A and B are shown apart, each in its own frame.
Chain A
């Protein structure tokens, strides 16, 4: 069939788009984002939620963290925890699972803290993958504008 690829491609794109649309419309009922929780905080009071943000202040005496959970929300939330906070520093990235007790307070059941430099390193370590993947791919393939397909280079055929 002449247009087999075109039909198949259209079906796959439509399926993917439907999936993305369904996810974006229904995620708040299953796995609300930090932004959604903070925008609709009344709905989440006394429920368990997951949020991630940046540590603004560490109080080792009361074992609390002041966390800014979303860049668009300037007011921070106080997170109480039983986990040791001696090594936590301002600027560290934190992922919290716990009870959302009020708009400005949360009791952490689980806490995952990433040192800021280690978190940034994930992105820096990722960079070599781009030239690596492009080199491997274009060493083996070239795009044929006529057929609109990738073809194996002679050497790698």
Chain B
């Protein structure tokens, strides 16, 4: 996993550039990492908890997104934004280096995993690139907003 901050920044950038609900997209980008609840059990001395692992699978994450979307007025619109966020998470995770296996895209129909071994999860340069990209997007939007306001006046 890249760190949550990188995931949330990529979600934010995607939300801004696709003109989707940024807040929900960022939440969606973090949904698969709800699997980290397992760390709490490990900390409590309870080992080998696999129950929460499906949260970090596409089908599990989309189901969580669906449940969250029910708490919004426009379910479809909320699910779309949350779903795009979830997708950005898996796209980013798809490029991580592991010794074997990958993301189980077809679970529960197949346990096979797919992965492009390209980026190490401890590579902090990925976070730096995400921060710089977010600043760039922010600056571009700030500039255009300012120009739009000055045209209206």
Task: Please report A residues at the B interface, Cβ cutoff 8 Å.
Answer: 5, 8-9, 12-13, 15-16, 19-24, 27, 30-31, 33, 35-36, 39, 50, 70-72, 95-97, 110-112, 114-115, 118-119, 121-123, 125-130, 132-133, 136-137, 139-141, 148-151
Contacts and interface: CB of A to CB of B under 8 A. Distances in A.
Contact of A30 (B23, B24, B63, B111): B111
Contact of A72 (B47, B57, B64): B47
Contacts of A141: 23
Contacts of B139: none
Contacts of B4: 125-127, 129-130
Given A95-B98, A129-B3, A149-B73, A19 B23 contact: no
Interface string B58-94: 0110011011001111010000000000000000000
Interface of B: 1-8, 12, 21-24, 26-27, 30, 42, 47-55, 57, 59-60, 63-64, 66-67, 70-73, 75, 97-101, 107-108, 111, 120-122, 124, 127
A122 B122 contact: yes
17 contacts: A8-B66, A9-B67, A16-B64, A19-B59, A23-B57, A35-B47, A110-B99, A110-B100, A125-B127, A133-B8, A133-B27, A136-B23, A137-B24, A141-B23, A148-B71, A149-B71, A150-B71
A121 B5 contact: no
B122 A50 contact: no
A125 B127 CA distance: 8
B124 A121 contact: yes
Central interface residue in A19, A118, A149, by most chain B CB within 10 Å: A19
B3 A126 contact: yes
Central interface residue in B8, B26, B50, B107, by most chain A CB within 10 Å: B50
Contacts of A24: 49-51, 53
Nearest to B29: A133
Contact of A137 (B27, B49, B50, B124): B27
Given A20-B52, A20-B54, A97-B100, 11 more contacts: A5-B75, A16-B54, A19-B63, A22-B108, A31-B101, A36-B48, A71-B47, A115-B122, A122-B121, A129-B4, A133-B8
A137 B22 CA distance: 8
B127 A23 contact: no
B108 A19 contact: yes
Nearest to B15: A136
A50 B99 contact: yes
A121 B71 contact: no
Contact of A112 (B1, B8, B97): B97
Given A9-B67, A95-B98, A118-B124, A136 B108 contact: no
A13 B60 CA distance: 10
Central interface residue in B52, B53, B75, by most chain A CB within 10 Å: B53
Contacts of B121: 114, 122
